[in-house]
Amino acid sequence: MSHLLRGELIKTMTTRTVLGFAVGGVAFAVLNVLAVAVWSGDLDEVPEKQEALSALPILLLLWGLVGTAGEYRHRTAAPAALVSRRHRGAVLAARITAYALMGLLLGTLTTMVSLGLALPLLSDHPGPGLTSGDVRAVVAGNLVAFVLSAILGAALGALIRSPVLGVVVLLIVNFAVVPLLSGVWESGINLTPFGAAGVLSRMTHHTTLSVAEAGWVLAAWTAAVTLVAVVVERRRDLA
């Protein structure tokens, strides 16, 4: 399994896709800090200040989906299984693990940018300041959300197998289905991967779902979709 993981890591790290999403993640982190800590006025509550440290972990769901689905678009998924002499489920498991590790790396980069820019700006706001425990909690939530989002995206990419279709479906769900659900059942949005990732990374606060519960919700979605993806992949032929 080690040679499979090493090969998938090399592919994941050397594509232009990962560079584009890394730049996009950093850009969003900067924009979020400015929007929350500078442009939104005074922040006098700890949850409001924690929001300034949030990143956009759900962005990695899109990255994992595009990257993994691209393997099928470019017809490299089957040859990878043939060369490795392992079944396609094992190759997909290695690929998903590689995305998880890269998700941790991208999450660390983005979170460090948020911390470096936001903490000095937040010191000028009234009310209680962020303690080291508050900061560590946001960092941990961000990193967990980044890793789980990358895994979930990679698993969805293996199921959908089309980057364009995957992006379209993801955008429709995020911008149409989720808001519709929010209008009908407001607390239900937190039970979606999008809502749970927002709570976990502190992008959303004052919800009925605790941070720990949001983590379990996102983990449950990730585990379920990943299991289905691996089972389906094992049953596909090598054509």
Q: What percent of the chain has pLDDT over 70?
A: 91
> Cα separations (Å) of 65 from 57, 73, 96, 196, 203?
13, 12, 10, 18, 22
Residue 67 has what pLDDT? 87
Query: What is the arithmetic mean of pLDDT over 208-215?
Result: 88
Residues 6 or more apart whose Cβ sits within 8 Å of residue 184: none
Most confidently modeled range among 63-67, 182-186, 217-221: 217-221
Q: 97-146 pLDDT, tens per residue?
A: 999 999 999 999 999 999 999 999 998 888 888 899 999 999 999 999 99
Average pLDDT, the chain: 85
In the predicted model, is pLDDT for residue 204 greater than 90?
A: no
Q: How far apart are CA 79 and CA 85, in angstroms?
A: 10
In the predicted model, is pLDDT for residue 1 greater than 60?
A: no
CB atoms within 10 A of CB 199: 25
Q: In this structure, what token pair is assigned to residue 120? A: 């000095």
Residue 54 has what pLDDT? 87
Residue 82 has what pLDDT? 47
In the predicted model, is pLDDT for residue 83 greater than 70?
A: no
Most confidently modeled range among 42-56, 75-89, 136-150: 136-150
Most confidently modeled range among 5-19, 41-55, 163-177, 219-233: 219-233
In the predicted model, is pLDDT for residue 7 greater than 70?
A: yes
Chain CA centroid to CA 225, Å: 14
**Quick one: pLDDT band at residue 177, thresholds 50, 70, 90?**
confident
Residue 235 has what pLDDT? 74
Q: How far apart are CA 150 and CA 55, in angstroms?
A: 14
- Residue that has been written with the tokens 């700006």 in this structure: 121
**Quick one: pLDDT band at residue 239, thresholds 50, 70, 90?**
very low
In the predicted model, is pLDDT for residue 81 greater than 60?
A: no
Residue 55 has what pLDDT? 79
193 φ, ψ (degrees, to nearest 5): -60, -35
Residues 6 or more apart whose Cβ sits within 8 Å of residue 125: 37, 42, 43, 44, 49
